[in-house]
Amino acid sequence: MKKALPWIVVLGVLAIIALWVANVYNSFVTLEEEVDSAWAQVENQYQRRADLVPNLVATVKGYAAHEQETLEGVVEARAKATQITIDPANATAEQLAAFQAAQGELSQALGRLLAVAENYPDLKANENFLDLQKQLEGTENRITVARQLFNEAARNFNTTIRRFPKNIVASICGFEKKPYFEAEDGAKQAPKVEF
């Protein structure tokens, strides 16, 4: 019995370590799934915006047919934005930056389209246009919230995999840091307001 006691202790310690590693691994998987879920919500909101664009363009086209360049710009930006897809499990900061840039181009194109609409009083009074404009505004707010939730999920994951001693398990199991959404170019400068 005395000879077996050290082996029992060693096996007990190994079992405790194995259970701890399994628990840590499972917590990483849970956090990674939260990041994936948050990313899916980001994509859902961007898709919602992309789905509104054809109706908005069609409505504006009926009133502002000679604004063809602006309308084509929106359609092209939408096409570019919907072509970029990211797998959140393997996302890199560069991929996220490219995705964000394409979405930013669509935002700018939509901004130009809405500015053009200001020149057409009949369009601004059109119920369909007003409804689409409200939906677009609500979607932009949802995008902001979804991006914030994604960044929070990524931060929780990144913090967990970098803390000692969990970082050892993360390194062995191949868990890597998730990228964040960054502020748009020019967001650090306050806009100039002139009266």
Q: In this structure, what CATH number is given to the domain that contains residue 81?
A: 1.20.1440.20
113 domain-assigned = yes
Nearest to 35 by CA among 168, 161, 185: 161
Tens digits of per-residue pLDDT, 128-171? Answer: 888 999 999 999 999 999 999 999 999 999 999 999 999 999 99
Q: Is residue 183 part of a domain?
A: no
The answer to whether position 127 is within a domain reads yes
Q: Residue 186 — pLDDT band, cuts 50, 70, 90? A: low
Q: Is residue 82 part of a domain?
A: yes
With respect to residue 191, please indicate whether it lies within any of the assigned structural domains. Answer: no
Does 190 map to a domain?
no
User: Are 109 and 67 contacting, i.e. CB atoms less than 8 angstroms apart?
Assistant: no
For residue 98, the enclosing domain spans 13-86+93-173
pTM of the shown model: 0.83
Is 53 part of a structural domain of the chain?
Answer: yes
- What angle in degrees, to the nearest 10, is found between the helix axes of 93-117 and 4-63? 20
Task: Give the whole-number percent of the chain exceeding pLDDT 90.
Answer: 63
Q: What is the pLDDT of residues 113-130, one digit of tens each?
A: 888 888 888 888 888 888
195 occurs within a structural domain:
no
What are the start-end ranges of the H helices in the chain? 4-63, 68-83, 93-117, 121-125, 127-162, 166-173
Domains: count for the chain: 1
